[in-house]
Amino acid sequence: MIKLERVRTKAAVPSAFRGRTPRNRVVALMKLARERLVAGEPIKVEIESKWSITKNQLLIETHNKCAYCESDITTVSYGDVEHYRPKSVYWWLAYVYDNYLASCAICNQRFKGAKFEFIGPAIAPPSVLAASTDEELKELANILIPDPLDADAVAIFEDLHRTEGPLIPNPYIDDPEPMFAWEVFEGSEEVEVVPNMAFANSDRIVDACERIYGINRPQLKRRRFQRYLFYDTLRKMLDDLPAGAPSRADAEDLLASFSKSNSEYAAMIRFLDAL
């Protein structure tokens, strides 16, 4: 997992996810919640899928990789628009652009689903009451739904994220790389994510990511090893090449490309390269 940067321009963020449009959608959800409260029923809202139009931009920002496992998505799949905080629990964030990222279907559907774990106080849902007026609901939406082009609103949203203390990093807000270490197992031909004991709570974070993202699923560990083997072989070849060899510059460029953000498993290569 590597740090990601969200592009915050009108060209990048669809109009349906900035300004009043997402807030109006959330107001509609809150009105449904209010109706259930008036009827004496538990709050349950039905969320209409509107986020597929964000996928292309999200994939650009993740370099066509899964934001969680760093596997290439688009070669063999369409990829998912993932709700980092699950919409079935954090229903009022269903249309919040800053809650979206691109992931592979395995990380999202087979593993994560509606799971989410944190160590701080939960982000509180909107205080919808049976007596809440439409104006009060609109005001709640203005407070709870950050416009992705409003730096101050985004900063407040990110502060709420940090206070909640998720055990699964959000690569748009957190820097995941210091949280993890990588161990190569030559015998089984696998590379496994392990805790980086220099980072607080790394053992809990790795444990949560194994259960919620499947970051150490067998297929992924073997695929990482193939990438590592390519990298390690090239590095050893460079050690044997004399300084003036014609192919040395090309080999050095190729080796350096393994650490670039658009390369699969860049976080692993960067960690191993620093050893």
Task: Among 137, 164, 191, identify where a domain stops.
Answer: 164
- 19 HSE (CA, 13 A, CB side): 7
Residue 6 lies in a domain: no
- The series of mean pLDDT values per 10 residues for the chain, 275 residues long, is 97 94 91 83 76 95 96 87 93 94 94 93 89 91 92 95 96 97 97 95 96 96 96 90 81 93 97 92
**118 and 247 share one domain:** no
Measured CA to CA, the distance from residue 88 to residue 29 in angstroms comes to 12
| 171 inside domain | no
DSSP string, 93-133: GTT-GGGEEEE-HIIIIIIITT---BSSPPPPPP---TT--
Residues 193 and 144 in one domain: no
**Residue 103 resides in a domain:** yes
User: Do 192 and 141 fall within a single domain?
Assistant: no
pLDDT at residue 212, as a whole number: 95
Based on the domain organization, do 158 and 213 belong to the same domain? no
Statement to judge: residues 195 and 159 lie in one domain: no
Same domain (yes/no): 38, 126: yes
Return the pLDDT at 42: 67
Determine, yes or no, domain membership for 10.
Answer: no
Q: How many folded domains does the chain comprise?
A: 2
pLDDT value for 107:
94
Give the pLDDT confidence score for residue 62 in this predicted structure: 96
All residues at 6 or more sequence positions from 259 whose CB lies less than 8 Å from its CB, including other chains: 266, 269, 270, 273
Same domain? For 118 and 238 the reply is: no
Q: What are phi and psi of 140, to 5 degrees?
A: -60, -45
Answer yes or no: is 254 within a domain.
Answer: yes
Question: Do 147 and 20 belong to one domain?
Answer: yes
Q: Is residue 7 part of a domain?
A: no
Q: According to the model, what pLDDT value does residue 78 have?
A: 85
66 & 156 share domain: yes
Q: Cα-flanking dihedrals φ and ψ of residue 13, to 5°? A: -95, 115
Answer whether residue 257 is part of any domain. Answer: yes
Among 164, 190, 223, the domain-final residue is: 164
Location of structure tokens 């060899």: 245
Cβ neighbour number for residue 60 with a 10 Å cutoff: 12
190: left (phi over 0), alpha (psi -120 to 50) or beta: beta
Q: Which long-range contacts does 83-88 make (Cβ < 8 Å, 24+ apart)?
A: 83/51, 84/170, 85/116, 85/123, 86/112, 86/113, 86/114, 86/115, 86/116, 87/47, 88/114
The neighbouring-strand residues paired with 102 are 81
Q: Last residue of some domain: 131, 164, 197?
A: 164
Task: Please tell me the pTM assigned to this model.
Answer: 0.90
Calculate ∠ Cα 152-155-161, nearest 5°.
150
The answer to the question of residue 5 being in a domain is: no
The strand pairing partners of 191, in sequence order, are: 184
Report the amino acid identity of residue 260. Answer: K
If asked whether residues 153 and 191 sit together in one domain, one would say no
Domain range for 134: 15-164
Q: Say what the pLDDT of residue 128 is.
A: 87
Q: Do 216 and 192 share a structural domain?
A: yes
**Distance, CA of 231 to CA of 255 (rounded, Å):** 7
Whether residues 29 and 151 share a domain: the answer is yes
